Amino acid sequence: MSLSNLVMPHNKTTLDRYLNGQQVPYTDLRKVWTDVVGWVPTVTGLGYANFFAQVREVNLGLPPERRIHVWLGEPPITWSKIKTKADFQPILAQRDTHAAEVIEKKILALNKKAIVIYGGLHFYNNLGLRRLVEKSTRLHSSSWRSIRDTSPILHHEF
């Protein structure tokens, strides 16, 4: 199988332009991994920057129809509109269901395959990703793989 889809927990801002080789100022690009719902305080490590740079490098050597597409599963958020915890809670509550909707609409409905990279705890509640994995396992021949680093991370191949 050639990889053409990844699903990760980030907001989609300017990532497509960057991954397809366009010039994107770092101040804009870093919002992909810093303006997210689930990391408070925000992600400060270089892991995501390096990961996206590697995907970009691979994509530049591929024709457009074979490039890796990264789907970002975080619900959109405009931080300037968040003034209280009550403003934030409804968006936070959508994290797993929003990611599951992205996978259902952009991957499964189009009969595509993807690697889904999320922290393991996203798969242990009864919402979103766990429900989607259980459904896809019944309907498709999908499989679990576990990747270990300093935090529990599971990914699911759909």
In the chain, how many domains are there? Answer: 1
pTM here is 0.70
Identify whether the C-beta of residue 11 lies closer than 8 Å to the C-beta of residue 73.
no
User: What are the tens digits of pLDDT across the range 75-124?
Assistant: 888 888 889 989 988 988 888 788 888 888 888 788 887 877 777 666 66
User: What are the tens digits of pLDDT across the range 20-39?
Assistant: 899 999 888 888 877 777 66
Angle at 12 between CA 35 and CA 15, to 5 degrees: 105
- Phi then psi for 6, rounded to 5 degrees? -130, 145
42 C-beta neighbours (distance < 10 Å), count? 13
- Domain of 70 in residue numbering reads as 5-157
User: What are the tens digits of pLDDT across the range 128-154?
Assistant: 676 776 666 555 555 544 444 444 444
The dihedral through the CA atoms of 72, 76, 79, 80 has a sign that is positive
Rounded CA-CA distance 96/94 in Å is 6
